[in-house]
Amino acid sequence: MKLIQTSRYFYYGLAAVISFVTLGCEGLDDWSDLKSIDLFENKNEDGQGSNAFKRYETPIMSSQPLVEFIYDPSSKFSKLYNAEIRKVCDYTKIPYHAITITSWNSTLKIIPGTRVIVVYDTKKLNDASVDVLLNFVSNGGTLFIPFANEDKRMAFLLGFKPEAEYGTDATAKGWHFNTPVLPGLNGKSFAANTLLYGFSEQNFSPKVKVLATAANRPNCPTIIENPIGSGKVILYNTSGDFSKMDRGFLFAGILKGLEGIPYPVANTATIFLDDFPSPQYDIVAEPIKTELNITTSEFVQKVWWPDMRDLAKEYKIPYAAMLTFDYRNKIVPPFTLDQWNSKKIKSKEKVESLPDWLVNDVKKNGHELAFHGYNHVSLLKKLWKNPQFIETSMNTIKKKWKISNYGKLPVTYVPPSNDIDRMGIRELKRTMPSIKYMCSLYIGQLEDGGNREFDYDPFERNFFDYPRISSGFYMQDDEKYTIQSMYLYTGIWTHFVHPDDVYQIPATADKRSAGYSLRNQFTLGWEKSKNSNRALFPEFKSFIKQFTNTYPQMRFVNGEVGGSLVMNWRASRYSHKSEKGLYTVKEINPTDDSKKYWFMYGSVANADRIESQLKSQMVLFSKTPFIDGYLYSVYSSKPKLTVIDLNYKSPKERAQQVAINNLVKADLAKFNVDVMNFIKGGDSS
């Protein structure tokens, strides 16, 4: 029996979190001495507790990993990739270990059970490493190299021709997915203007599998799989760099070596309605003026919200509606509600403010009333010169919430413009203690409120971050890539839209913006467009349909439920065990709510075996095309999943493996002879 211990999670304070995120695992081979703490329960003035906050642990490296990274502490990008891939394994609960190149060169030992080895730059590996890695691959392992660097010792492993001259392609740009390297993106391109500077196609043998090509050069391979023996080498053919946004893209290369290994996902999707409900105005503006000839307030009340409400009913979406009460950017008292109350409507013999009517309709239809601020001024020290006034504005909102019977105080918060600093977070928690979930951005700058993870906020340990990854009513291929990249390793999609997105068009935009960051840069109409067959609402509805078709088990939840589910998923721990041809991933100390959602990669060749095993466990599953096979989405009523261990070899298969290894050695010997002939000017064939 082989027991593989998963990563664990310890929360141990801000300094260590920042160290982990920025430095990866350098010098952190043993974190066992770090103490974990319990996040204390808060009580706000209404007696509402934030008791969902659980004991949380930071990751340590596994002594029995599935994924091992050989990294160079002196290389910025080697450390960066190590940190990003390690964070992915942190999310997916996949056992992970990292070793410095120096340590690797001195030992040349692969930890038993390792299925994927990642090396950013092979040039500092000693010569003996090449034989060790080749043996690892030949016996069924996967070597993942996400960087194209010239190392002639690796030619056979990379799938080069003997006559390869290691030429660089200086014209190839972007990535085009010949296979669905990310689900739903087969035939799509992204980063189309980014030069890759990878190896030219003339270097590669026709034996390699091409999973992706350049966006502008269909003959230039950008993701190459080179089968060797029972294993494979995956090369991302670029000398450019990847970042946090590309984690799932990197993880796709790793998953090729983790076939049949299930990993738990949060399985949540949340749509935030930013700046809604909010003050409304009788302004006529394009493109709604041409399309419908109604005011902005009429558009929100009679068109936008009814359409969004119907969409929610069709797809069972509980929105997080982010209330904002004033747009005058006031940062000194008095903080009044005259803007909120300025637009009145009559309904059922009652005259009330339009925003109040919208709030009640949002509540009546089962959506969350969340908080976007008294006004739209970000809680930044440079803007709020007197932080005491933040408390005054919050008191206005708390009184309004109570007087108007909105229900419990909000627990979900989106910073205006997604910006908030340390001061703002401190004051928000002090003055609106009901808030539990901070929903800014997954990307951006940490000090300004961005670059958040699905973790406790680095500036306030009693906020859990549930950041957003995408926005808008239409998504271009680059944004679809970003969404799918994060979803692959989290099972989370967080998205926001605004009622006024339709009005942000180039014709009326601030000229200094040069068209950037416009939420309707193509001047589309809401339901019909004057000069296009596309429109915002049909585009959004079409994307929702595509996404739910890709992931039929995906559950839409509001911000509060999503934050709680994701926090529990992050706090969970799992064990991995391989025994007698079966592989089991099991939650340690599961809660009463034992149902789990999982993702798992499986090739077409093994699909029947995988699906037969899933059916025998009476679990629900669906699949979507992914790379050369499928990404399985699995729902289990138990906190564990057992699948066929595709790496298990019977005695007969072990005997066959010896013959396979001998063939690889023979191929290598012939390759080396052909290389020497080519160097001497002979015929390598």
> Confidence band (pLDDT; 50, 70, 90) for 683?
low
Read off the amino acid at residue 513.
S
Q: What is the spatial distance between Cα 466 and Cα 470, in angstroms, rounded to a whole number?
A: 13
How many helical (H) and strand (E) elements, i.e. helices and strands, does the chain have?
A: 17, 31
Sign of the torsion angle spanned by Cα atoms 385, 387, 390, 391:
negative
> Confidence band (pLDDT; 50, 70, 90) for 347?
confident
Q: CB–CB of 573/588 below 8 Å?
A: yes
∠ CA 256-262-265, nearest 5°, is 105
Quote the pLDDT of residue 682: 63
Quote the pLDDT of residue 515: 43
CA distance to 11, 145, 548, per residue, from 34 (Å) = 9, 32, 41
Quote the pLDDT of residue 316: 98
Quote the pLDDT of residue 318: 98
Determine the average pLDDT of the residues in 332-343. Answer: 97
Q: CB–CB of 441/467 below 8 Å?
A: yes
> Confidence band (pLDDT; 50, 70, 90) for 589?
confident
Side by side, the strands of the sheet bearing 629-636 are 263-265, 596-603, 629-636, 620-626
Q: CB–CB of 111/68 below 8 Å?
A: yes
Q: CB–CB of 252/182 below 8 Å?
A: yes
pLDDT digits (tens, 9 = 90+) for 22-61: 323 323 232 222 223 233 233 333 334 344 455 455 557 8
DSSP structure string for 67-107? EEEEE-TT-HHHHHHHHHHHHHHHHHT--EEEEEHHHHHHH
Residue of 54 and 496 predicted with greater confidence: 496
Question: Is the pLDDT at 684 greater than 60, yes or no?
Answer: no
| SS3 of residue 429 by DSSP | helix
| SS3 of residue 350 by DSSP | strand
> Confidence band (pLDDT; 50, 70, 90) for 634?
very high
Quote the pLDDT of residue 602: 98
Q: CB–CB of 623/610 below 8 Å?
A: no
Residue 503 tokens read as 């009005």
Q: What is the spatial distance between Cα 591 and Cα 587, in angstroms, rounded to a whole number?
A: 9
Q: What is the spatial distance between Cα 199 and Cα 235, in angstroms, rounded to a whole number?
A: 10
Quote the pLDDT of residue 58: 54
Quote the pLDDT of residue 143: 98
Q: What is the spatial distance between Cα 191 and Cα 189, in angstroms, rounded to a whole number?
A: 7
Least reliable range by pLDDT among 140-144, 330-334, 428-432, 681-685: 681-685
Q: Is 532 left (phi over 0), alpha (psi -120 to 50) or beta?
A: beta
The chain-wide mean pLDDT, for the chain, equals: 90
Instruction: Please name the residue that has the structure tokens 């503006």.
Output: 285
| SS3 of residue 124 by DSSP | coil
> Confidence band (pLDDT; 50, 70, 90) for 492?
very high
Residue of 59 and 677 predicted with greater confidence: 677
Residue of 628 and 25 predicted with greater confidence: 628
Q: CB–CB of 520/536 below 8 Å?
A: yes
Helix axes 305-315, 536-550, angle to 10 degrees: 10
Residue 602 tokens read as 């499986």
Q: What is the spatial distance between Cα 361 and Cα 2, in angstroms, rounded to a whole number?
A: 56
Instruction: Please name the residue that has the structure tokens 């000069």.
Output: 531
Residue of 16 and 123 predicted with greater confidence: 123
Read off the amino acid at residue 221.
P
pLDDT digits (tens, 9 = 90+) for 150-206: 999 999 999 999 999 999 999 999 999 999 999 999 999 999 999 999 999 999 999
Quote the pLDDT of residue 36: 30
Determine the average pLDDT of the residues in 301-316. Answer: 98
| SS3 of residue 65 by DSSP | coil
Q: Environment class of residue 67 by beta-carbon count within 10 Å: exposed (0-12), middle (13-18) or buried (19+)?
A: buried
Task: Please state the length of the chain.
Answer: 685
Determine the average pLDDT of the residues in 109-114. Answer: 97
- Radius of gyration for the chain, computed over Cα atoms and rounded to the nearest angstrom: 27
Question: Is the pLDDT at 410 greater than 70, yes or no?
Answer: yes
Question: From the CB of residue 145, how many other CB atoms can be counted at a distance below 10 Å?
Answer: 24
| SS3 of residue 132 by DSSP | helix
Q: Environment class of residue 482 by beta-carbon count within 10 Å: exposed (0-12), middle (13-18) or buried (19+)?
A: buried
Q: Is 586 left (phi over 0), alpha (psi -120 to 50) or beta?
A: beta
Question: Is the pLDDT at 136 greater than 90, yes or no?
Answer: yes
> Confidence band (pLDDT; 50, 70, 90) for 10?
very low
Quote the pLDDT of residue 619: 95
Quote the pLDDT of residue 277: 98
Question: Is the pLDDT at 531 greater than 90, yes or no?
Answer: no
Question: Is the pLDDT at 540 greater than 50, yes or no?
Answer: yes
